[in-house]
Amino acid sequence: MKPEKIRVRIKRQDSPQTKPYWQEFAVPYRERHNVVSLLMAIRENPVTSAGERVAPPVWDCNCLEEVCGACSMNINGKPRQACSALVDQLEQPIVLEPLTKFPVVRDLMVDRRRMFEALLKVRAWIPIDGAYDVHTGAPRISPKEWEINYVFSRCMTCGCCMEACPQFHEGSSFIGPAPLGQVWLFNNHPTGKYFREERLHAIMGDGGITDCGNAQNCVEVCPKEIPLTTAIADLGRQTTLQWLKDLFGK
Amino acid sequence: MATDSPRIIVVGGGLGGLWATIKAAEAGFKVALFSLFPVKRSHSACAQGGINAVLDTKGQRDSIWQHIVDTIKGGDYLADQPPIKTMCEEAPGLIMTFDRMGVTFNRTPEGLMDLRLFGGVKNKRTAFAGSTTGQQLLYACDEQVRRHEAAGLVEKHEWWEFLSLIKDSHGVCRGIVAMNLWDMHVEAFSADAVILATGGLGYIYGRSTNSTSCTGAAASRAYQQGALFMNGEFIQFHPTAIPGDDKNRLISEAARGEGGRVWVPRDPKDTRDPADIPEAERFYFLEEWYPAYGNTVPRDIASRAIWKVVKEMGLGIGGEDVVYLDLTHRSREFLDARLAGILEIYEKFVGVDPHTHPMKIFPTVHYSMGGLWIDWEKESKTGGMKQPSPRNHQTSIPGLFACGECDGGYHGANRLGANSLLSASFSGRVAGESASLYIKGLSTTRGSVPPSLLEQEKKRQEEINSKLLASSGKENPFTLHRRLCDIMSNKVGVIRDNKTLDEALAELAELKERSKNIALDDRSTWSNSPLAQARQIQDMIVLGEVIAKGARVRDECRGSHYKPEFELKIPEGKFPGDPEYDQYVDKWMANNEKWLKTTVAKHTAAGPEISFRDVDTSILPPETPRDYR
């Protein structure tokens, strides 16, 4: 039997400086709700179960089809995208909390700038001569190479892997699994390879690859099933070789 | 940043905005890039199927000329043709540039870029990266912009919302006012040129394939400050989306291009599992009605056919507003290599496996062909668009450029599939180059802009905020948005008529009044998203009026704009050479005399003022009507 109401508990926080608190809402049942549409319903009529009218909860979302990476949050204790979390498949009360590894901006919205800064640090791009036609494309890439690269290129920088990683937190300098996956991707591209040393050096120092504790949590929560631990293991080999190369010269 | 160094402001970090940023940075200018969120989250990520360019690697003798013809005809002749010509000519070079950026395009067995078939086209012309092509192209540009950021040329302002333009006493755009979405403070930024790349407006219709950020609010704000808006009434309905309450999720046209067949049971009371319904009892209506193109007819045609089957013939599956899109005859291996992303979306959000069960789909709002009016310069020698030229992609406000979905170029009355990633990228590149050239010709720099001008516009915007925060009105902004969506979806939809459009205009006027009386549930000054959203909704209503008014005024059928009362029907069973067909062509040409014009909307206090401008049809004169039978 369908319940009449959907019960939701939301961890709220008015600003980065203030203390978090909990509020509970009961939203009239509708088929095929997901967590974002549920939050939209609350936003329009933000009355708690206790009957108090409050400020609508703030969260981050955009595409609603799990390609933009915006709406990551902890849902019933698991980091995932809110848009693809179907209410009919969730135990109630549904507990919504912001990701814990990033500073809270407000309510369920967090500041994930650290992830984008990491992409800058590891130079996650292919240095092209310029964005103009040079009358040729990239070198040929076998369908097999394509297949594995494509999986890595779907990383949305959503932060779920970072949330699940025990080594990544506000007190540590560990760069985290997502940027490492991107290092692997660009090192595996036929011209991206030319600059692999730069990227490897960026992950060899403090907060780099050796901080990975091999907990394997990252692969489990990745909404795009990116084989992050395989990449990290391979990068371990790549950095070791690089270390030897640095030590003994060419 | 010192105010004497020239600076370009780019608003919007989707494919168009990122390309503009890259080109401006390559020209050596500092770029301030504004976005509502980290640019990587932009709506371009949602484009699935691919990007068109004639590479002619499939042994089909594809040609750039054919791409030009398909694009012009696909748009029902309404777009200026010289820019289309140049875009199609430069598409292959653009795709190869993307390839060099590292985009994971699908490969043939010999390691070259693979191509697939798309709608409105007979040749394989669409390069693709699984079924997340937009995401991959966006990420490639995001990476290149990060490279320029590392070099100090690009300064990102993420979590900032564009509120208004700063115009000097000559009406020249000299900067913007924007609001920080975390601490909500409002600031003025001077610039030598401003490029708007703020995307589409599908959220005006509520449930659409668009992201929640596609409100059109930024374009509406520029429009309300004097920028002309063109062809607003041309809204593309994508034929194949999964109906949902919060959004209608796109199932890419690639599904049809890769062999997907659209059908309904011939007997609407047939409740059998689709797999148990024999071929003879299935109605493949696109294949029957359009044997030449079959399931890959252009989107406007497919959408209306599905609409007709469901709403007029009553053949929706189980009496519901859905038809089958069937890929079950394709092997799992084939589907996973080419369509995994969209099949995954279907399975995730519907809970049914499309490898074994046909998908249930229905048309929905997808793309705005119209947008801010943009200029371009003609190259007399080639008949194409002159490149580079400071006129290209400049709006009616000097110094303000527009690119991507928020501009109204290239697609006329209907956009072909996989032409949007192309036009977004191409137009962004052109706008970046144009703005750079424009700056070089300026006699005064942004340093000469009096601070009082910046201060004044900033104050005006701050006052709008404080008024909203203090308002004790009675209207809930989100309820107003739902009302706007109802009006637009029900009265300015796939099939239009003047009586209903008059009702829509009256209801929009009423809604506009109500939107002046908003009350917010959140009056805080930290990360107050309802405040930002309330402002967007007010501006969405204004753009809704532009769409409805354009639709009301245009008494014809063209591309996505369909008013049955004025339809010129191709005589059934008749083809060129038949006298009935020739008579039809005569009537069609007479109609073009009157209506083959760009709709131009100008903002006034009383609502949009509509006028018409000629279309440049110098490449392919409108002599043969579209005919996809």
Beta strands per DSSP E along chain A: 5-12, 21-28, 72-75, 78-81, 94-97, 104-106, 109-110
pLDDT of B447: 86
Q: What is the mean pLDDT of residues B188-215?
A: 97
The ipTM value here is: 0.98
**How does residue B81 score in pLDDT terms, banded at 50, 70 and 90?**
very high
Kindly list the distances between the CA atom of residue B162 and the CA atoms of A106, B166, B536, in Å, as whole numbers in the listed order: 21, 11, 11
Burial of B289 (0-12, 13-18, 19+ CB in 10 A): middle
Tell which of A39, A42, A65, A141 to mutate to test the B interface (max B CBs under 10 Å).
Answer: A65
Beta bridge partners of A109: A106
- Among candidates A54, A124, A141 on the partner chain, residue whose Cβ is nearest the Cβ of B107: A141
- pLDDT score of B442 more than 70: yes
Q: What is the mean pLDDT of residues B246-266?
A: 95
- Which residues of chain A carry a pLDDT beneath 50? none
- Partner B, chain A 208-237, Cβ-Cβ below 8 Å: none
A63 to B211: CB separation less than 8 angstroms, yes or no: yes
Q: What is the mean pLDDT of residues B54-72?
A: 97
Q: If you measure CA to CA, which chain A residue comes closest to B209? A: A63
Beta bridge partners of B115: B127
A138 to B100: CB separation less than 8 angstroms, yes or no: yes
Q: What is the mean pLDDT of residues B521-538?
A: 97
B69/B75 Cα distance (integer angstroms)? 10
Closest CA to B455 of B191, B189, B195, B218: B189
H helices within B379-528, ranges in order? 420-440, 451-470, 477-491, 498-514
Phi, psi of B430 (to 5 degrees): -60, -45
Tell which of A27, A54, A110, A153 to mutate to test the B interface (max B CBs under 10 Å).
Answer: A153
Helix (H) or strand (E) holding B591: helix B579-595
- Other beta carbons less than 10 A from residue A211's beta carbon: 16
Residues of chain B neighbouring A58 (CB-CB closer than 8 A): 527-529
Q: What is the mean pLDDT of residues B490-498?
A: 96
Q: If you measure CA to CA, which chain B residue comes closest to A185? A: B102
Distance from CA of A27 to the nearest CA of B (A): 15
Q: Are B226 and B171 in contact (CB under 8 A)?
A: yes
Q: Are B420 and B16 in contact (CB under 8 A)?
A: no
A155/A177 Cα distance (integer angstroms)? 11
> Which are the contacts of B22, defined by CB distance < 8 A and separation ≥ 6?
A131, B141, B144, B145, B148, B429, B432
**How does residue B471 score in pLDDT terms, banded at 50, 70 and 90?**
very high
B83/B76 Cα distance (integer angstroms)? 15
Residues of chain A neighbouring B43 (CB-CB closer than 8 A): 62-63, 68
B144 to A125: CB separation less than 8 angstroms, yes or no: yes
Distance from CA of A16 to the nearest CA of B (A): 10
Q: If you measure CA to CA, which chain A residue comes closest to B102? A: A126
Size of interface A-B (CB pairs under 8 A): 191
Token couple for B611: 């006028």
pLDDT of B3: 61
Q: Assess A58–B contact: CB distance below 8 Å, yes or no.
A: yes
Helix (H) or strand (E) holding B289: helix B285-289
- Partner B, chain A 95-134, Cβ-Cβ below 8 Å: 105-106, 109, 112-113, 116, 119-120, 123-128, 130-134
B96 to A135: CB separation less than 8 angstroms, yes or no: yes
- Among candidates B100, B135, B527 on the partner chain, residue whose Cβ is nearest the Cβ of A137: B100
Q: Assess A84–B contact: CB distance below 8 Å, yes or no.
A: yes
Burial of B255 (0-12, 13-18, 19+ CB in 10 A): buried
Q: Assess A148–B contact: CB distance below 8 Å, yes or no.
A: no
Q: Are B247 and B203 in contact (CB under 8 A)?
A: no
Beta strands per DSSP E along B141-294: 154-158, 160-167, 173-180, 186-190, 193-196, 229-230, 235-242, 249-250, 261-265, 282-283
pLDDT of A32: 87
- Other beta carbons less than 10 A from residue A1's beta carbon: 3
- pLDDT score of B4 more than 80: no
Q: Up-side HSE of residue A170: CA atoms within 13 Å toward CB?
A: 9
A171/A249 Cα distance (integer angstroms)? 35
> Where on the phi/psi map is residue B506: left (φ > 0), alpha (ψ -120 to 50), or beta?
alpha
- Among candidates A60, A67, A131 on the partner chain, residue whose Cβ is nearest the Cβ of B144: A131
B552/B506 Cα distance (integer angstroms)? 12
Q: If you measure CA to CA, which chain A residue comes closest to B213? A: A62
Average pLDDT, chain B: 96
- C-alpha angle A100-A104-A109 in degrees, rounded to nearest 5: 100
- pLDDT score of B9 more than 70: yes
Query: pTM for the whole thing?
Result: 0.97
Q: Are B50 and B421 in contact (CB under 8 A)?
A: yes
Distance from CA of A167 to the nearest CA of B (A): 25
Q: Assess A67–B contact: CB distance below 8 Å, yes or no.
A: yes
Q: What is the mean pLDDT of residues B269-277?
A: 94
Provide the residue type at B531 as one letter.
L
Peptide bond connecting A93 to the previous residue in cis, omega within 30 degrees of 0: yes
Buried b / exposed e over A221-249, threshold 16 CB at 10 Å, is bbbbebbbbebbeebeebbeebeeeeeee
Residue matched to tokens 């949050």: A73
- Other beta carbons less than 10 A from residue B26's beta carbon: 18
Q: What is the mean pLDDT of residues B590-611?
A: 97
Q: Assess B526–A contact: CB distance below 8 Å, yes or no.
A: yes
pLDDT of B2: 55
B299 catalytic? Reply is yes
**How does residue B596 score in pLDDT terms, banded at 50, 70 and 90?**
very high
Token couple for A106: 């407000």
pLDDT of B86: 98
Closest CA to B301 of B187, B195, B156, B416: B416
Share of chain B above pLDDT 70, in %: 100
Q: Assess B381–A contact: CB distance below 8 Å, yes or no.
A: no
Residues composing chain A: 250
B538/B545 Cα distance (integer angstroms)? 11
Output the furthest CA–CA distance in chain A (Å, rounded).
72
Q: If you measure CA to CA, which chain B residue comes closest to A186? A: B102
Catalytic residue among B299, B415, B496, B554: B299
Q: What is the mean pLDDT of residues B591-597?
A: 98
B521 to A53: CB separation less than 8 angstroms, yes or no: yes
